[in-house]
Structures are given as structure tokens and as C-alpha cells.
Structure 1
């Protein structure tokens, strides 16, 4: 059962893919305020790659190549990873995106300019803060969508606080309940002798000062039993949280206090760590060598608190049962053997397993790539005169289409005459999910001399290739094939045609070819180009 689960996991990992749709983050800004968008770093792109900003308000527009004068006219400032809108208006509302160099991923922003006091805008531009009575409190002005400190020519002019239109100090030495309310902080920036503001709303809640907590032992738990080996060293930590320097933690052996002298066989030491008003104390009970006498005793950790009653935790020791490692070793060995067998079986029968799952259970990835054909069969002239003859080629086409249900694009059938050969072949490649290179003898005609012409296009588009070779060309000597064909053969998956032995539908040739081809979509054939009348 374990081997079957591992095998299924390995198979599913090779066949499943996922798609994650993008959703732009929403940024709310008051009309007239400054706002800055920042393009975060993409790990797949070089850090020094050029940042490209675009605006999609009415139609997509490249903002990175605009002149300084045009940026000033639009009220924008593009500086590397930052896009600064000096004074937001409804003209700036819409979608923005940034990308690093030629990276395929883009980061999206949805800018919403609040021109009226709508409920949504008020909620999105308010930031809560809580303080406690009779304690010091500093109001925090949010740092949301503010310009980076390194942005050229933009300097900060500080922060000004207001409450109901009256100037206020953002610091309270001892906050009171009547200090609660709505505060407005204004961040001002100077750019080319012009002041621009960013306004935020902070809602201050003032709560009564929390009561001092009662000292408590946090660990160990009461009546905990520690399994030990006789003669072994054991350290038991008793941890407590206290609020006074006069509180103390100690260990007891029955009713007598354990010594703190490390020369004794059993002793304890302690450490204190202060964090504000809270004190964390750890009293460590140390057994140099656990004896049988220690197993018969109960030890108590006691917390003596000046602000409350004392608390106790009692522990005992028990001799650890010697474990049997036989079952553990057998289990580990069994799991390792099952994993090795699963890998070996999958490596040996991966083609048969994949085709079984695809044909019988329908387990294969389904993507809407917009392609019209499953494969494009492109013939080329074999220089060794050992390629597929006309009958073999017809057999290859008919078996793929009629027996296995593939939708094929054939040059002499699906391309209308009169069109440039290279352009027609590229159209076929564009509409096909895979390109199958077939060696033929004699020369197949107009489709055989285009490998050099379309080689760059195949590499650029990262087209999926399947390279059919014959037994005599299975290990070609250097220079025996054209350079473009050698490069394509190295980039694709190779399948060997062995003549008569490859003709049965259950032969190794057909299994390997179908393994490298995508699963047929069983759809009716769609013509790439209109056929000649």
C-alpha cells in the first residue's frame, strides 16, 4: 500500500500544473495628496534591470520613456522603482503596472482617488491606535505609500498633527480617556520649491490601564513525570513570570530547600531576565547522576510572591524503559526499500504508466492554449537515404490521426499553395502544440529545405520538438547532418524508427512517440489555412 501511494505521488507531480490569476492591490488616496507606488523586487529578474511603468487608465501607456516635461505636465515623477504622483486627481485614477526588464511577471496597482467623504474611502484611509491611561503614548503617523528616502529632489518637511482642526502634539506623557478621538497627521514634502502633502487619519482609542498580572509558574506542569536513565545527568527548568524583584522561585526536596551549591549531587541555580515590568525567572534543578533514591522522591518548585499567594509545581522521576529498535529499524528499511522500488518501477515503466493513465483514466493536464493542431509533421531530406519512404510516412500520418486521434497539420494538405514556404511553415508551427521532424527519402519537396530558415524562430519560441531518427542515423558522426538539424535534434526528444518492427501499434516506437507528444484533445480538426479549390 505504501509503495502504491508513493508511486501515485510521483506520477501526479509530473502531470499536474496550476494557474494563479492576478488581482491588483487597491491603493486609496485623498484628492490633492501625494502618493508613491513602489515596484517590489522580482527574484527571477536581475536587480539592475530597467523598471518599466505603464498606465492603463484609458489605454495602456508606457510612463518610463516620457520626458521630464511630459511627466511634469501629468503631475508624475518616475524614478526607478518608484512612481510618485505629486497631487492625485481623478485623472490619475486607474490601473498601473510595473515590470523589471523583460521579466514576464508584472505587478499591478489599482489607484482610487477619494474626492468625497464616502464610507469606503474613510474606512480605507483610517488607521487605529490604542493607548492605555496614565501611560506615555506616541501617535504613529502611517508610512503608507510615502516616497522613498532616496528619491531625488524630494525632501521631507516633517509631520504636523491636528485634532478637529486644532494643532496637537503627537506625544502624551500620561494619556487620559478624554484624549481619545480622531487625529489627522500631515506629512509634507518639498519638491522643486513646491510643498506637497500626504494626509492620514489616526483613530486613537484610550483604554483603562491593565491590571498587574499575578505571578505564575509557566512550566513544568504539576505532577509531571520525567523519564530518565540511572546515572544520567538531568536538568529540570522551572520557569515563572513575576512582577516584583522581591518575588522568588526555589526548589524543595519534600519540605527542605535544595542547596544552590554545585558541589552537591542535587542542586539548583537560577537566572533572571527583565522585559519591561515583567520578570522571567528560571530555576534549574540539576541531578549530576540520577540515583535510585532520587526516583523515590518528589521535588517541588515553589513561587513565593509578595503580591499574591505562593504557587507550587511537583514533579517525580521514573526510570526510562529501554526501547527496542528492531521494529524501528525494520520500518525504516521497509520504507526505504519501498521508495527505491517505486523509483525503479517508475523509471522502468514510466512510458507504459503514463500512457495507461492518459488513455484509461484521462489523467493529463488540460490547457487552453488556443492551438488548432496537436502536432505539425515537418519532413526533411535524409542525407543517408535511410529516411522513411512514402508508404512509411503515410502510415505514420494515418496511425496518428485515425488510430490514436491526433489532429495533425500536414504541409501538403493543410497549407494553401502560393504562400511563401517559410511563412506557411511558421504559421503551422504557431498553430501546433508540437513539431515532429520526420526524415524522408526521397526529398519530400518544399518543406525540407527550411530548417535553417526557421531554426532561430523555433529556438526563440521554445517550440516543443520530437525528432524521429532511423537506426542508421541514431548516432550520426560529427558533420554528417546539417548544423541546424543537429541543434534541433539536441533540443528535442528523439524516437527511433526501426522499419517493419515499428509498424505494429503496440511497438516501442509508437509508445515512445505518444509519450513525447501531448495527449490528443479528441477535437474535430480545424483548418489552419483555406484549402485550394
Structure 2
């Protein structure tokens, strides 16, 4: 037997030898196929005869074993060799080193043969990764899709083999990776692995490929709409003839286009319609300027109720759009202008007066409430302090709550109903009774929840509405930031129903006490101390 050594890599100077292959055949018709141990591989015979014609496969490394004669769907050797034949294809379900070698195929009784050299690498072989790597290029700001190679995979009509899809992973990452990018950026570059899975006789067989993605700077700029701006409002007179709104865009491809939509419908270019648009394009060396002019022949009230959208469609990135609306134009005369200016001045002056008044009222409320006592409603308590569970860990601690209650009682003279001291038994009816006997309710954020307050929040809201009880909602900077998305519905209703004061830590600031007392009713008894101490 003669040997012919094929030079597989001129750079690495590594030689692989095949035996028993005629030299004149190898020169033109030898195809080298690489696979990895444990993976599926398929050899496709390139004979151009009828696909139903029987093909003779020979394994040269097995003493010229005629595979066709022993390989059939009913062959007992099929499972042992992990090999099956279909049409012009030889499928190796799970390759091993024993499958490595030379194969030939030919139509029966034909002298012309095609030769394959199958090389099987170890699972962790870096050389296999390099030989089995494909390259693709995408450009920044353009859509990019990676495609898994189809080399040496089963044909779709192979019996009992079902394609189970493709999984993508980026090198160095274990989680699945998308292979379709709407707008590529440089960080997307790298080596991706795609794994094709196939089901045969209840078992999964895989084929893996590597794809190197290179991200290059786009030869195009980024197409964009220059004007108008999003949510612009155009003032137009009703009945005005030929009102025109221009949408201007810059693009870098002849296939980019800009046009108008009315609500969800296309605006037509037919100039006989009451509303239409026309399009113009000016091409320069490296860019295209486009204008889509929205034309109203006679502006109607129906036009004012609609939203109009200018859309830019590009062949190499996602579409962009700008939505505008119309409003009726009003043209004020000289007297109207003076009236408008005067109105603004009055509003500014009133705002300044209100600010001064509120500032004075808050600053003086402590002293006023300390001197005057109003007790005409015969309530047992000035306020009921009830805790609610904070959705963050920013609630008041037990020491903070004691500080709040002690200061209101001892220094400002308020009669306070406390849940853990005055509510008995600890049930919803007792809580509502305490609310009935209180002139105000103060809700205090706590973490963790020291009492089952959240169970009766809805009943409290109903009670407040019916009895018009004053409500003060204390929050912290953390609870205030998280209120909109995470508060229970009952708490959101209560926060809207009352006034809020922000607790910024202990000892509380003088400003906190002034604002809290401003919202509370005057105490029913004279405070023991007229000055606020610095510590609780």
C-alpha cells in the first residue's frame, strides 16, 4: 500500500497521512472533514445521479470494508457502529477515534469514486476550534444576525432524525446568547458557539460550530429625523388653506425613505385628497437629505384631534419616528397681550404672598398651638399614631417611634392613642374605635411592621372619608422615593387623602416638628414645655 501525506497547515507544518488511496484520485477528489469526538458528522457523496440510486460506501481503514453491504435500517451492526446510511449521505451519530480514516463513495458498478478523509479531534482540542471556526462581519449601528454553519449536517429528509434547533453561547459565558442584534456595537464582537441538536431514536445528538464576529465601523452615518421634534405642537387656524408641516431627515442610503402616518394609517401622496404629503430628496456626496411635507388643504376640527407621525425607514437599522399634534391657533391683539402680561404679574405676586404667608404660618404654628387650645368636639385623643409596614428598610425604628410619641405627649401636650398601649383588644374594631375617638390619624412607616396595621388600612380609609378625620402621612426619604410603584393600593389611597411630612432621621429637625404640628389640630392641654429639646 502506498502512503500520501497531506500538508494540513503550512504554518504549523503538521502532516496527516492516509493509506490505500490512489494518488491520482486524492489530488482532485479528496475532501477532508473535521469533527470532534462525541459529536455528529455527515459525509455527503457528491454524485449527481438520481438521489434514489444506491451509493456504495467503503471504509478504507477497515480493510476496504463495504459499508453499504452491512449497513441497512435493519442491520444489527448499525447501533454498534453509530452509523446509518440514507441516500447519498453517511451519518455518524457520535464520532469516535475508531471512525477516523478514509472513506469513498460511488454509484454501484461505477469506476469513479469520491474520497473523504475524516479527522476526529479530542473534545477539548484547540486545533479543532481553529479549523472549525467561521467568520462574519457586522457594522456598528446596523442590524446584525449570526448564522450557524450548515456544513456536514443531516439533510431534512433523513428518516427518524428531527432538527431540535440551535443554541448560541458567547465564549466565556455560560448563559444563552442572542444571535440577532437590532443595532450592533463594538462590544458585541467576539467568538460565538452555536450548537445544532438533532433527535434520533429518543436520543439527542449535537454538532457544534464556532463563529467569530468582527464589528467594524459602519460606512454609513446614522440616519435620523432632524425636524420636527417629538411631541411638537403645531398651531393652525381652522379653515386655513394649504397648511404645510415639513419633516426633514438625513440618510446615507438610497433605500432610506421618510413618510407620514395619520394615527395608524398611511397618509397618501394623492394631491386631490384634503390631507396628503409630497416627498423630495437631494443627494450629496456622502449623504441624502429628504423632506416629507404634510399638506392640509383645509384644516378641520377632525384634523386637530389626530396624531401625525413622521417615520424614517432605513435598510440597515431600526426605523425611527416622530409624533406631533395640531392645535388651533389664536392671534391676540394688543389689548390681549397687555392682559396676558398683567395676568402673569398678578399670578407671580400672589404666589409670592402665599409663600410668605405659609412660611410665617408654619413658623408660628408652634407658638399659636401652644397658647390656644381648641376642644369643641369632645374627642378623647388629639391623634392616633398607627404604624404601617414600610416597603423598604427605611421605616422608623422602635426608638424613633418612641421619640415621636414622647415628644408629642410630653413637650407639645398632645393626647396620643398608641396601638400597643391603648388599643385593646388588638382587633380591627378596636382600631376603628380609637380612630373614632381621635381628632387626627398619624400613619408612621415602620420596618419591620410592629403591628397588624395593614389589615385594616382599607377600613381606615373608609372611616376617614365618612368622618372627615384629619390624616397625616409620615414618610422617609426612602419610602417617598418608592411609593409610586410598590405601595399597596390602600396605602396609595391614604397617601393621597392626607398631608405628608418627611422624617429625615433622629433627632428630628425643628422644621419637621413645625410641619407636623401645622397639620395636627391644636392640643387639648397646655404643653409641659414650651421649648423643644434637642434630644428625644
For the aligned pair, the TM-score class normalised by the smaller chain equals 0.3 to 0.5
Instruction: Return the index of the structure with the highest Cα Rg.
Output: 2
Q: TM-score by structure 2 length?
A: 0.36
Q: TM-score by structure 1 length?
A: 0.36
